[in-house]
Structure 1
Amino acid sequence: MAEEQKNNPLHGKTLQAILEHLVDYYGWEELSHKININCFKSNPSIKSSLTFLRKTPWAREKVESLYLFVLRRQKKGL
């Protein structure tokens, strides 16, 4: 099992750390354009967004996918 996770960039990352990274990278406004969900648009906060994302698998998948995209961009120096 540890071998499978070794190359997984999400392994060991909390949803909160992922979300904070995206907010730092994009800001709430740009993030709400990238992922069209109300918790990023209307009075956004880490706490309210985490509550929504933990209950909504499709939204969490979008956040994780965007995070992986950002990591790849940062690795390339873009």
Structure 2
Amino acid sequence: MKIVKGALFVILMVALAVGAFNLLFVAASDYFGPFYESEADQRRNFAIWLLGNAGVGMLSIVMGVVLYRRYLRRARV
């Protein structure tokens, strides 16, 4: 049961982190206007968004595992 709870906690962390990143990305593009004027700029923008999502996802997975392990250690005491 601990594994299931841990997996759900990590999934929640990933969903919240990626959602927050996308919200900030959309808000910034809405505030500043389109970030691209040509095909190359549009590809660069997509790469930034895609790699940003991957980075935030990986970081949130690591942080979710670390936080859940800390929670389990404190729960035993």
Q: Taking structure 1 as the reference length, what is the TM-score of the superposition?
A: 0.36
Between Structure 1 and Structure 2, whose CA radius of gyration is higher?
2
Q: Which has the higher contact order (CA 8 A, sep 6+)?
A: 2
Higher helix fraction: Structure 1 or Structure 2? 2
